[in-house]
A = this chain, B = another copy of it.
Amino acid sequence: MATVKCSIPKGTRDFLPIEMARRNYIFDTIRSVFRTFAFEPIETPSLENLSTLMGKYGEEGDKLLFKVLNSGDFMEGVDFQQDYHKVAPRICDRGLRYDLTVPFARFVVQHRDQITFPFRRYQLQPVWRADRPQKGRYREFYQCDADMIGSTSLLNELELVQMIDMVFSRLGINVVVKINNRKVLAGIADMIGAPDKLVDITVAIDKLDKIGLDNVRAELAERGLTSSQIRALDPVFSLSGTAEEKIAALEAMFANVEVGRKGAEELKELFGYITAAGVKCEVELDLTLARGLNYYTGAIFEVKAKDVQIGSICGGGRYDNLTGIFGMPDVSGVGISFGADRIYDVLTELDAFPADLAQAAQVLFINFGPAEQAACVKAAARLRAEGIATLVYPEAAKMKKQMEYANRKQVPFVAFIGETELKDGTVTLKNMIDGNQTTMTIDELIAVLG
């Protein structure tokens, strides 16, 4: 076989052990919180029928789906004068998972008879997008989603906020959870007599922080709002104070706007729960938060790291009809998704990963030759039976080489069974950090390392 150049596709990554250890630290923390809140794991296949995926992520999404070639004689009857996007469906009918939400909706509908509702599921799996690769944007990346489906209770929203609080407190990241409600945004559009301009209004409001009020007003005018409609938005821009004060203002503002009033009520109930439950992280009612308007219908969430300049590290919201596209209407759900790659970047910048993640082995037995090796193998078997990660150097190599190996592998302890130890049935343990050496029995060794 000819030698081939070693590379991987653009936008994909290999993960070395140290990166895996750090990623697993994040995944394990998230997973453990999901389990504490009694979420159950599911997995869906990487390959879905294109009919399941197409049209669910907008026109741009359809283009960014990775499509997998059919096996066999797919070309029969295909008119190749047509362009790529028309031909593609003829030569492939499977695509790679694009997110975890649409497959979850498909899963719920397909397995409705095997599921007890309300159903809480979590899912940690890779997704693929044929996006242009760039810094921090990959073509294959993991999503970590938790959704509760089959209950409209706002206790669910509270628990998502509690989970966010617990995950980031355990990871040592200071965060602010921003909350808004889709019904409040709809209420604002209704209030100024522009229900059809909901998207334009939210896109413009979303930029308030960046471009300032005057520019937002200019953009709203460009987007076809009349000057009286823009003036009618003034109370929205001038909202300030605590969540309770903002909600009180919204209630007054929406006296005659039903959907808005409902949104304000939901926010009031949720913030009441949050205060009573003693959520530790900062939680803010942010009326400029718009995110993923296409399927969200109630609460929306976004989490920002307070000490690192980066996009949102977690987000989600309530959707009232996600399963409807698969023929099962009126099943409300709410969920969040943690952005593992950005959380990785935040922990790196904060230097907040635990220091001992790199340790693959707790102890390395130095190999002095056949007889000593046999004693090491026996001692190692006893340590491993106790769950202690143990290495025996596989050859009687030069001492220097074996010690260098221990250093490179960052093994905290090295164990010697030489002539004396062999005779006495002992082992000499060297602490690689302070250099101290102690001779002991194997039982004592297990007690020290266990």
Contacts and interface: CB of A to CB of B under 8 A. Distances in A.
Given A3-B325, A389-B35, A114 B52 contact: no
A391 interface: yes
Given A14-B107, A14-B111, A388-B36, A8 B46 contact: no
A106 interface: yes
A286 to B, nearest CB: 24
A75 B39 CA distance: 46
Contacts of A121: 17
B394 A151 contact: yes
Interface stretch (A80-88, A208-216, A421-429): A80-88
Contact of A40 (B6, B17, B74): B17
Interface size class of A (residues with CB under 8 A): 35 or more
Contacts of A151: 394-395
A74 B130 CA distance: 14
A355 interface: no
Contact of A80 (B75, B126, B139): B75
A310 to B, nearest CB: 23
Given A43-B20, A49-B9, A1 B69 contact: no
Contact of A45 (B51, B140, B409): B140
A44 interface: yes
24 contacts: A1-B325, A7-B49, A8-B52, A13-B45, A14-B44, A14-B107, A14-B111, A16-B111, A16-B114, A16-B115, A24-B41, A32-B387, A37-B389, A37-B390, A38-B391, A46-B96, A71-B130, A73-B84, A74-B84, A75-B84, A116-B408, A118-B394, A273-B377, A276-B374
Given A47-B128, A156-B394, A278-B378, 16 more contacts: A8-B44, A14-B44, A14-B107, A17-B40, A17-B41, A21-B40, A32-B387, A37-B384, A38-B389, A38-B390, A67-B68, A73-B84, A116-B405, A116-B408, A153-B395, A155-B395
Interface of A: 1, 3-9, 12-17, 20-21, 24, 32, 35-49, 51-52, 55-56, 63, 66-69, 71-75, 80, 84, 87-88, 91-92, 94, 96, 106-107, 109-111, 114-116, 118, 120-121, 126, 128, 130, 139-140, 148, 151, 153, 155-156, 158-159, 162, 166, 273, 276-278, 325-327, 360-361, 373-374, 377-378, 381, 384-385, 387-392, 394-395, 405, 408-409
